Copies of this chain bind each other. A is one copy, B any other.
Amino acid sequence: MTDLNALGEIGLIDRIRQATAAPTHPETIRGIGDDAAVFDWGDAYGLLSTDMLVEGVHFDLTYVPLKHLGFKAVAVNVSDIAAMNGLPVQITVSVGLSSRFPVEAVDELYDGIRAACEAYNIDLVGGDTTTSRSGLIISISVLGKVPKDRITYRSTAQVNDVICVTGDLGAAYLGLQLLEREKQVFLADPNMQPSLSEERSYLIQRQLRPDARTDVVHELRDLNIVPTAMIDISDGLASELLHLCRQSNKGAVIFDENIPIDDQTYLAADEFKISPVTSALNGGKDYELLFTVRPQEFERLQNNSRITAIGYITADPSQIVLATKAGQQTPIRAQGWQNG
């Protein structure tokens, strides 16, 4: 018998994928291997993606408000659709509940789910509610849509493409560190009030209530720019960049000083004695988009405050490196810190 931990999540997914038969339906354009599956929806492509969140693994209800959790559960699914350059249309929501939850808690969770449906313009069309012996389980599936000439896979980056990220990175990870620290203080002395100051509110919000970047999908449509490749940053920039490069069979150079990092992230990183760049590379859960565009297209994006160029695609797939201002280059390795 082989221990599941020895194989790891990536190993397990590879094992499942390898044993899975190739798609047979003409409607199936792309199966396992990208942020969402792709099917032929007549004059557009349809996108299908799913995510499961488990209490004690993906969230800790000691400090995660149910309304934020509902919002986040939808947002992380929408992020997968955005990563294909698509927009969400419908979701189904399955919830497993242990009897310790009162009805009011379920209402709160669904308030957050509905707030996200409104924010991202999604129809909630179905789902399932069931008993769970142990805590809360949320499984959401999302159906999205993308014009056929705008679909963006992970595997199609080209040499010299500009590598871009949306928003800023590393904040969600430091938000989690703050919340975990306050939890320990609270557990040691339940009379202590949490000392989460205003100056930290951005980090907390990034962890508890991340936003999917459908705004950038809209913006790219308005500018008539189709990225050459795209992936969402759920497991940290390093891991996602490696996926994108490996699936595109390309290399990359990232400039560490270009990685967009918020001031609050710098301050908290200093306090926790973590390098802010490491938090951006390996922290995860930022749900920003990582994408590549042709250099001539990038000109139309370079004054956009939501998008930052952090490097470029190279030909040698064995060279995926972080470059410092001083010109030093170090290989980028995946090192997720969080489960999920």
- Residues of A participating in the B interface, judged by any CB pair closer than 8 Å: 1-7, 9, 12-13, 15-16, 19-21, 23-25, 27-28, 30-32, 36-37, 39, 41-43, 46, 48-52, 54-58, 89-90, 92, 94-97, 99, 101-104, 106-107, 110, 114, 117-118, 121, 123-135, 137, 139, 141, 143, 145, 339-340
Given known contacts A43-B42, A104-B1, A48 and B137 CB-to-CB distance under 8 angstroms: no
A247: min CB distance to chain B, Å: 15
A55 to B131, CA, bound (A): 10
Q: Are B54 and A126 in contact (CB under 8 A)?
A: no
> Residues of B contacting A132 with CB < 8 Å?
54, 57, 137
A4: min CB distance to chain B, Å: 6
Q: A4-B97, A54-B131, A57-B130 are in contact. List 16 more A-B contacts (CB 8 A).
A: A2-B104, A3-B103, A4-B103, A16-B129, A20-B114, A24-B121, A25-B89, A30-B125, A39-B143, A41-B41, A48-B90, A48-B141, A50-B126, A52-B137, A94-B139, A134-B134
Copies of chain A in the complex: 2
A94 to B137, CA, bound (A): 12
> Residues of B contacting A57 with CB < 8 Å?
96, 130-133
> Residues of B contacting A94 with CB < 8 Å?
50-52, 139
Q: Are B28 and A125 in contact (CB under 8 A)?
A: yes
> Residues of B contacting A52 with CB < 8 Å?
94-96, 128, 130, 137, 139
Q: Are A126 and B3 in contact (CB under 8 A)?
A: no
> Residues of B contacting A54 with CB < 8 Å?
96, 130-133, 137
> Residues of B contacting A48 with CB < 8 Å?
90, 92, 125-126, 141, 143
A309 to B137, CA, bound (A): 41
A99: min CB distance to chain B, Å: 6
A83: min CB distance to chain B, Å: 13
> Residues of B contacting A56 with CB < 8 Å?
133
> Residues of B contacting A28 with CB < 8 Å?
89-90, 123, 125
Q: Are A123 and B12 in contact (CB under 8 A)?
A: no
Interface centre among A39, A58, A97 (most CB of B within 10 A): A39
Which B residue's beta carbon lies closest to that of A122? B25
A128 to B28, CA, bound (A): 19
> Residues of B contacting A129 with CB < 8 Å?
9, 12-13, 16
> Residues of B contacting A103 with CB < 8 Å?
1-4, 6-7, 12, 15
Which B residue's beta carbon lies closest to that of A127? B50
A24 to B88, CA, bound (A): 12
- Find A49's partner among B36, B92, B96, B99 (CB 8 Å cutoff): B92
Q: Are A50 and B139 in contact (CB under 8 A)?
A: yes
- Find A41's partner among B42, B117, B339 (CB 8 Å cutoff): B42
Which B residue's beta carbon lies closest to that of A56? B133
Q: Are A39 and B92 in contact (CB under 8 A)?
A: no
